[in-house]
Amino acid sequence: MQNQIPPPSPEEYAPFYADYVQRATQRKNVQMALAQQIEELHAALDSLSEAQACFKPGPQEWSIKEVIGHLNDVERVFSYRLLRISRADVTPLPGFEQEDYVRAAGFDSYSLADLVREFELLRAANMLAIGYMTEEAIDCRGTASGYTVSARALIYMLVGHVDHHMASLQEKYLPVAVTL
């Protein structure tokens, strides 16, 4: 089992993931952050009504429920990539179009509690898998979306992606949604 997983170097991920990696690197321990984010999501969202959770800051923006549904989609996509790459599978993995996924899912018809619970379960499974990865598995590299990516970088990207969207929720969603 891994203790502390050191941050990835820039050649371990595509440049467009640098923000996610940087956000995760600001955490003291990426494995602890994986667990902390479950509680952070509950703390931010559990008091919202279903109507508040459908709030969108603009007509072209996602609702809060759609943001959480997107977190779940990306948790699945990144964890699938993590599984394949950590198992030394060098088959190139395709990208995905997040807008299409959100549009097709109909997340506003889900309950907010179910979306948050889904994230909790997905993350718990990922934490268990990551906890048993060897250093060799974490060092493995593969290709996703046409770029080299390491298992280590994907772990950091899981954390950084959630931090990115939590910052957006805290800055432009929740201050208005809680007043509705």
Compute how many other C-beta atoms are within 10 angstroms of the C-beta atom of residue 77. 19
157, 7 contact by CB (below 8 A): no
| Enclosing H/E stretch for 149 | strand 147-150
pLDDT tens string for the chain (180 positions)? 557 999 999 999 999 999 999 999 999 899 999 999 999 999 999 999 999 999 999 999 999 999 999 999 999 999 999 999 999 999 999 999 999 999 999 999 999 999 999 999 999 999 999 999 999 999 999 999 999 999 999 999 999 999 999 999 999 999 999 999
Can you list the domains of the chain with their CATH numbers? Answer: 10-177 (1.20.120.450)
The pTM of this model reads 0.96
The sign of the CA dihedral 84, 5, 23, 118 is: positive
- Residue 67 neighbours by CB under 8 Å, 6+ apart: 165, 168, 169, 173
Q: What are the tokens at 133?
A: 């990865």
pLDDT value for 2? 58
Q: What is the pLDDT of residue 139?
A: 97
